[in-house]
Amino acid sequence: MRDLSAGPRVLLKRLRELMAEPLEPQERLDRIVRQIAQNMVAEVCSVYVLRSDGVLELYATEGLNKTAVHLAQLKMGQGLVGTIAASARPLNLSDAQSHPAFTYLPETGEEIYHSFLGVPILRTGRALGVLVVQNKAQRNYREDEVEALETTAMVLAEMVATGELKKITKPGLELDLSRPVTIEGNSYGEGIGLGYVVLHEPRIVVTNLLNEDTEHELQRLAEALGSLRISIDDMLSRRDVSMEGEHRAVLETYRMFAHDRGWVRKLEEAIRNGLTAEAAVERVQSETKARMIRLTDPYLRERMHDFDDLANRLLRQLSGYGAKLSAADFPNDAIVVARAMGAAELLDYPRENVRGLVLEEGAVTSHVVIVARAMGIPVVGQAAGAVALAENRDAIIVDGDDAKVHLRPMADLQRAYEEKVRFRARRQAQFRALRDVEPLTKDGKRITLQMNAGLLVDLPHLNEAGAEGIGLFRTELQFMIASTMPKAEEQEAFYRNVMKQTAGKPVTFRTLDIGGDKVVPYFRAAEEENPALGWRAIRLSLDRPGLLRTQFRAMLRATAGAELKMMLPMVTEVAELKSARELLQKEIERQSKLGEQLPRKLQFGAMLEVPALLWQLDELMAEVDFVSVGSNDLFQFAMAVDRGNARVSERFDILGRPFLRILREIVRAGERNNTPVTLCGEMASKPLSAMALLGLGFRSVSMSPTAVGPVKAMLLALDAGRLNELLEAALDDVKSDTSIRQLLVDFAAANGIPV
């Protein structure tokens, strides 16, 4: 047998020439397979391309019956070719017919060939087709021949990806690359976004596949690896990577991989076979990805992801640029698609152009998700495979209501969504028209409508939504998206900025509510069995008085001369409030001693989230200037259902008798003590439950910005007095078990109230 060690180089050189020639696609493919067959001393060389209907169609062959081209086909997973595509792995067989998956296609005349070597045509881990060589004699293809064929397959992958083969694809059919895909994930942000894919970590498209000078490419690889290792060492030695933190663990893994001999050897081998350094990285990366997609062990997957990230970094080193889309190329309606990303990275995008976010990972509590929600864009997380399946500028729909991502949607689906979006826009316009209308119920009750916020990106919503102020400012969000603890000056500057942007409208700052599911990376407490019932919020603040005092100080200074309204989360006993107030008093005294200006007015409040407070209502109200019900937590603790556990969180109705009776007690205590009571949980964001609140006697609520319009539309049509009579009677009636939710729905329908 001929020595093939020089083979791949010669072959790739010939292929490069063929790619450059002005040929029709079929002609080019035919010549490519002939060239490969010749070079590999094979009697047969065939290319199968995967269509969007899951069929692998013979696109070109040397050696099999030419009449079978575009006729012979196999389903994904069927036959040897289908097996290779489905597994994204090569098959090297000395006697193909004895393989259990072998399927005989009579039109090809392939029965006389015994040995068979097939490799997947891969791009970013996806199989786009299969490349096969066959020989009559029984033989085993050597490792270097497998390697050579895999390298050659990259050239074909490029041809498929550039869309060149579309011209020779049968009318009405499409290649898999442009197949519509629907991915089911988790909804982390409601709404619908239509637009075009922007890959957060842009794939460096390697167009220069074949090398001219192996030594030069090896040298380039060595240099890029060197810089990569230095940059990782740099990151590791930076002060802000805490010694214990997860960042460090990830970087340590990167460092280990960057020195991994096996990986480097594979890269060098691919260059020796004729690829450029970039193409070599892409090849090895594609194989890793193909393997990664099928891994189920989460730990191994994570490690493979690390390898993938590292390969991306290396590609960027080699190509010398980040290949981020330039501002001019950035679509007006961008949907950012990422495996995972940092919150700050999302904020780097032009905000008005980003219409949605798709993450392969992420959780409701991920920082990037918090920021995306604050920006008001739909988010779908846990969207498996999204990055590999998407190409920059593909059409895409993010359905945050239904937790789905539609990639390259079919025309009718696209139209249906466009209609949905138009409908929403019309409704939004109707709500906007209500922006300056005074929130008076039909029977003349003045309702205060405020919104919840936590980041600067939230603040533009204040005027857009027509909210009267911010009823809940979650200060922990600033802490959650930072990589290190925000310093006193940073906190102060942040609050000052909030005050400036809200331009005189009231803001209720809530002190730090960390712990529980609100994780702050640089503030690690011991693992807790029940974090929701653990060391969190005011408990943590009182145990770390320095933290709380710093925050008080920042708030006092930022609101000097204006009104400071603050409240404390998760209060269980009135005594906790007293301790917090003492700390606040110390800060006030300190400020005045220093001759610094104090706020013109101070309002000190408590969140009512822990049921124990229900039996201290009068003491509580004597202690504070106002009370704000955190219905999310109060419901969780009252009903003993974890708010983050979808299996139980909706098990009991928030509009059921027990919870409404609790809320009624709170309203009555407020009236009795002349203490303003408001509610700032999700309950206020839904028109039907907001209507129930007004029926119970609440006159102030705070909700997500998008809810202000719908809630206002509801209350303008509501006779709160009549609903109050109805609700009081229903709650007093201990014999009836009729649903209060139904009663509310019927009331709204009978009175034309939009809920």
* Contact residues: ligand PEP, CB under 6 A: 472, 474, 513, 609, 630-633, 680-681
269: its two tokens = 């081998």
* Least distance in angstroms from the C-beta of 681 to Mg ion: 7
Query: What does the DSSP assignment read for 538-584?
Result: HHHHHHSHHHHHHHHHHHHHHTTTSEEEEEESS--SHHHHHHHHHHH
82 binds Mg ion (CB under 5 A): no
* Least distance in angstroms from the C-beta of 638 to ligand PEP: 12
Closer Cβ to Mg ion, 644 or 676, answer by number: 644
* Least distance in angstroms from the C-beta of 75 to Mg ion: 53
408 binds, among Mg ion, ligand PEP, none (CB under 5 to 8 A by kind): none
79 binds Mg ion (CB under 5 A): no
630 binds Mg ion (CB under 5 A): yes
**CB of 523 closer than 8 Å to CB of 643:** no
* Least distance in angstroms from the C-beta of 74 to ligand PEP: 54
* Least distance in angstroms from the C-beta of 680 to Mg ion: 9
633 binds Mg ion (CB under 5 A): yes
Closer Cβ to ligand PEP, 220 or 518, answer by number: 518
**CB of 712 closer than 8 Å to CB of 687:** no
Considering only CA atoms, which of 44, 60, 67 is closest in space to residue 114? 44
565: its two tokens = 């309204």
Closer Cβ to ligand PEP, 124 or 631, answer by number: 631
- Phi and psi, residue 728, nearest 5°: -55, -45
Closer Cβ to ligand PEP, 46 or 628, answer by number: 628
The whole-angstrom separation of Cα 483 and Cα 46 is 53
Instruction: Say how many residues touch Mg ion, by CB under 5 A.
Output: 3
* Least distance in angstroms from the C-beta of 452 to ligand PEP: 7
User: x/- site string to Mg ion, residues 43 to 72, per CB under 5 A?
Assistant: ------------------------------
711 binds, among ligand PEP, Mg ion, none (CB under 5 to 8 A by kind): none
**CB of 40 closer than 8 Å to CB of 145:** yes
* Least distance in angstroms from the C-beta of 727 to ligand PEP: 21
680 binds, among ligand PEP, Mg ion, none (CB under 5 to 8 A by kind): ligand PEP
Closer Cβ to ligand PEP, 278 or 633, answer by number: 633
- Phi and psi, residue 232, nearest 5°: -70, -45
2: its two tokens = 């001929």
CA-based angle 170:176:180, to the nearest 5? 105
> Judged by CB under 5 A, which stretch of 38-46, 290-298, 629-637, 648-656 contacts Mg ion?
629-637
Task: Find residue 55's DSSP bridge partners.
Answer: 75
> Judged by CB under 5 A, which stretch of 43-51, 113-121, 622-630, 670-678 contacts Mg ion?
622-630
* Least distance in angstroms from the C-beta of 512 to Mg ion: 12
471 binds Mg ion (CB under 5 A): no
User: x/- site string to Mg ion, residues 595 to 614, per CB under 5 A?
Assistant: --------------x-----
399 binds Mg ion (CB under 5 A): no
Closer Cβ to ligand PEP, 59 or 637, answer by number: 637
The whole-angstrom separation of Cα 721 and Cα 718 is 9
CA-based angle 380:385:390, to the nearest 5? 85
Closer Cβ to ligand PEP, 387 or 455, answer by number: 455
The whole-angstrom separation of Cα 662 and Cα 640 is 15
Task: Find residue 376's DSSP bridge partners.
Answer: none
Radius of gyration of the chain measured on its C-alpha atoms: 32
Closer Cβ to ligand PEP, 47 or 690, answer by number: 690
* Least distance in angstroms from the C-beta of 451 to ligand PEP: 12
For 640, half-sphere exposure in the C-beta direction (CA atoms, 13 angstrom radius) is 0
| CB < 8 Å & 24+ apart, contacts of 532-536 | 532/636, 532/642, 532/643, 536/570
Question: What single letter denotes the amino acid at residue 597?
Answer: Q
> Judged by CB under 5 A, which stretch of 23-31, 124-132, 612-620, 630-638 contacts Mg ion?
630-638
Closer Cβ to ligand PEP, 275 or 680, answer by number: 680
**CB of 70 closer than 8 Å to CB of 58:** yes
The whole-angstrom separation of Cα 605 and Cα 623 is 9
* Least distance in angstroms from the C-beta of 357 to ligand PEP: 21
Closer Cβ to ligand PEP, 333 or 665, answer by number: 665
Interior/surface letters 388-410, b for 16+ CB within 10 angstroms, e for the rest: bbbbbebebbbbbeebbbbbbbe
**CB of 91 closer than 8 Å to CB of 80:** yes
Closer Cβ to ligand PEP, 285 or 628, answer by number: 628
* Least distance in angstroms from the C-beta of 476 to ligand PEP: 8
**Residue 423 CB: number of other CB atoms within 10 A?**
10
115 binds, among ligand PEP, Mg ion, none (CB under 5 to 8 A by kind): none
356 binds Mg ion (CB under 5 A): no
The whole-angstrom separation of Cα 750 and Cα 742 is 12
* Least distance in angstroms from the C-beta of 463 to ligand PEP: 22
* Least distance in angstroms from the C-beta of 690 to ligand PEP: 14
The two beta strands, 601-608 and 563-568, are: parallel
631 binds, among ligand PEP, Mg ion, none (CB under 5 to 8 A by kind): ligand PEP
* Least distance in angstroms from the C-beta of 609 to Mg ion: 5
189 binds, among Mg ion, ligand PEP, none (CB under 5 to 8 A by kind): none
3-state percent breakdown (helix, strand, coil) of the chain, nearest 5: 50, 15, 35
7 binds, among Mg ion, ligand PEP, none (CB under 5 to 8 A by kind): none
472 binds, among ligand PEP, Mg ion, none (CB under 5 to 8 A by kind): ligand PEP
Closer Cβ to ligand PEP, 472 or 498, answer by number: 472
Closer Cβ to ligand PEP, 134 or 511, answer by number: 511
Q: Can you tell me which residue has the tokens 């980003």? A: 354
The whole-angstrom separation of Cα 740 and Cα 723 is 12
- Environment class of 62 (CB within 10 Å of its CB; exposed 0-12, middle 13-18, buried 19+): buried
Closer Cβ to Mg ion, 630 or 687, answer by number: 630
Query: Which residues make Cβ contacts (< 8 Å) with residue 295, sequence separation at least 6?
Result: 301, 304
* Least distance in angstroms from the C-beta of 635 to ligand PEP: 8
Closer Cβ to ligand PEP, 217 or 633, answer by number: 633
681 binds, among Mg ion, ligand PEP, none (CB under 5 to 8 A by kind): ligand PEP
Phi-psi region of 515 (alpha: psi -120 to 50; beta: other; left: phi over 0): left
57 binds, among Mg ion, ligand PEP, none (CB under 5 to 8 A by kind): none
554: its two tokens = 């920042």
The whole-angstrom separation of Cα 468 and Cα 173 is 56
474 binds, among ligand PEP, Mg ion, none (CB under 5 to 8 A by kind): ligand PEP
704 binds, among ligand PEP, Mg ion, none (CB under 5 to 8 A by kind): none
* Least distance in angstroms from the C-beta of 518 to ligand PEP: 8
459: its two tokens = 């603040």
201 binds, among ligand PEP, Mg ion, none (CB under 5 to 8 A by kind): none
Residue 116, classed as helix, strand or coil, is strand
* Least distance in angstroms from the C-beta of 527 to ligand PEP: 21
Query: Which residues make Cβ contacts (< 8 Å) with residue 10, sequence separation at least 6?
Result: 39
Closer Cβ to Mg ion, 64 or 683, answer by number: 683
**CB of 701 closer than 8 Å to CB of 691:** no
601: its two tokens = 């007015």
- Given the rule CB under 5 A, which residues bind Mg ion? 609, 630, 633
